[in-house]
Amino acid sequence: MRIGFIGLGIMGRPMAKNLIKAGHELVVDDHQEETTAELVAAGAERGGRPDEIARQVDLVITMLPNSPHVREVALGADGIVNGAHRGLVYVDMSSIAPLVSREVAGALADEGIAMLDAPVSGGEPKAVEGTLSIMVGGDRAVFDQVRDVLAAMGSSVVHVGDSGAGNTAKLANQVIVALNIAAVAEAFVLAEKAGVRPASVLEAIRGGLAGGTVLEAKAPMMLAHDFTPGFRIDLHVKDLLNALDTSHDVGVPLPLTAAVLEMMTALKAAGHGQDDHSGLLRHYETLASTRIGGSPS
């Protein structure tokens, strides 16, 4: 399939590369010229404005930071909507507010463009491996039409409901991930302060009920104090804000989510917004005046 791919950041770049490996023809664009050049070197074609890309392809995929970026790329003066043609499908794989997904999908439907919201989970390592979890909202028939394309980027591709449902599922995912990271950080700092090596705690608990994907992915980063971003605190703050906005719309209190959001916001204010979200450990170390494996931070 001939696919337009807009947004080649930490996640988008390896996702686009996996589509090329799967034999698809890509037309790509990103605001970072060097990233676009990297994909062109991998076999993609350089694109232009979103409307220009849309005119050339059967499917447009976006992987963008937040709701305003998606709205602009889809509906702006040079947006995908202005490149509408019969059969064009738009899949937004960004993590944005479900309400915005529904608004954009409605506006595009008026112009004959079918849209799916298909956010992902798994971070950069799974984006590179092509083993992301992809949760999809929108028309089931359109999902069936592009499922094989999505499967080139993920090992789990699940249709969860109507427009906006994909991003609702992603918000639930991000709540669970954030609270798990906080729990791991809290437990490790407790162990450190009590004189027990957190690395030993990890070995002791990983095979039990506390074990899981978050523990395996983030605990080693905490132990090494390596917060090289796979998923940045800045982006998790954005997702939790969207989760709280959505929860307020539907009348669901999220007290634990609100608490972790404040911790991440404090880290962002302290200049750690570009760190991996496992850097939530720093917050607990500061509170306890200690540091995993060393002197106070």
Per-domain boundaries in the chain: 2-162, 168-288
| Stated pTM of the model | 0.89
Give the three-state DSSP class for 163: coil
Give percent above pLDDT 90 in the chain: 92
User: Which of the following CATH numbers is that of domain 2-162: 3.40.630.10, 3.40.50.720, 3.40.50.300, 1.10.760.10?
Assistant: 3.40.50.720
In this prediction, residue 294 has a pLDDT band, given cuts at 50, 70 and 90, of low
**Residue-wise pLDDT tens digits, 222-234:** 999 999 988 899 9
Do 179 and 256 contact (CB within 8 A), yes or no? Answer: yes
What's the mean pLDDT in 155-171? 97
Pairing outcome for strands 45-46 and 120-121 = unpaired
In this prediction, residue 52 has a pLDDT band, given cuts at 50, 70 and 90, of very high
Task: In whole angstroms, give the CA distance from residue 249 to residue 246.
Answer: 5
In this prediction, residue 88 has a pLDDT band, given cuts at 50, 70 and 90, of very high
- The CATH architecture annotation of domain 168-288 reads Orthogonal Bundle (1.10)
The rounded mean pLDDT for the chain is 95
**Residue-wise pLDDT tens digits, 255-264:** 999 999 999 9
Helices (H) and strands (E) in the chain, counts: 13, 9
The H or E element that residue 30 is part of is none
Please list the active-site residues. 170
pLDDT (0 to 100) of residue 226? 96
Do 217 and 123 contact (CB within 8 A), yes or no? Answer: yes
In this prediction, residue 2 has a pLDDT band, given cuts at 50, 70 and 90, of very high
pLDDT (0 to 100) of residue 297? 43
**Residue-wise pLDDT tens digits, 127-145:** 999 999 999 999 999 999 9
Residue 45: other Cβ atoms inside 10 A = 15
**Residue-wise pLDDT tens digits, 165-221:** 999 999 999 999 999 999 999 999 999 999 999 999 999 999 999 999 999 999 999
pLDDT (0 to 100) of residue 43? 95
User: Cβ neighbours of residue 54 under 8 Å, at least 6 residues apart?
Assistant: 4, 60, 80, 82, 83, 84, 85, 88, 90
pLDDT exceeds 60 at position 23: yes
* Bridge partner residues of 2 (DSSP): 25
In this prediction, residue 293 has a pLDDT band, given cuts at 50, 70 and 90, of confident
Give percent above pLDDT 70 in the chain: 99
